[in-house]
Amino acid sequence: MSKMFLRTNSAPESDLVRGYSYSMGEFGNEDEAHAGLSGYSLDSGAEDAIERLDARMGISGRFGTVTMFVTVFAGSDRGTGPDGEDLFAPAAIVASFETTSIKDAADLAAKLAALGIN
């Protein structure tokens, strides 16, 4: 059964196709990549995942000149990354929000709740 994961990213569709994220090694070198995308499982609830993602990556506002998103992916668990993040193999994009449209953690939680994601 598919699980849901929350991730801050700049290219949701590319993440879905690529299926992994880079570690702090050489960008573009697949040998320097995680076993999946890094994010946070929604198994413990949206508020917990939002809090963890906000602390690690941020969830709202501008990220310099890059358009960023908070994306909910359906996928399967691949373990834990080196920073305690969840690693997952993405199967589909469930929802995606530009970070500039998110006021704060409560606003993101409300957006997810409106989609039935708690």
Give the up-direction half-sphere exposure of residue 28: CA atoms within 13 A in the CB hemisphere: 0
Q: How many CB atoms lie within 10 A of CB 104?
A: 13
For residue 98, the surrounding DSSP H or E stretch is: strand 86-98
Distance separating alpha carbons of residues 41 and 14, to the nearest angstrom: 20
pTM of the model as a whole: 0.90
Q: Would you place residue 82 in the very low, low, confident or very high pLDDT band (cuts 50, 70, 90)? A: confident
Q: Would you say residue 30 has pLDDT above 80?
A: no
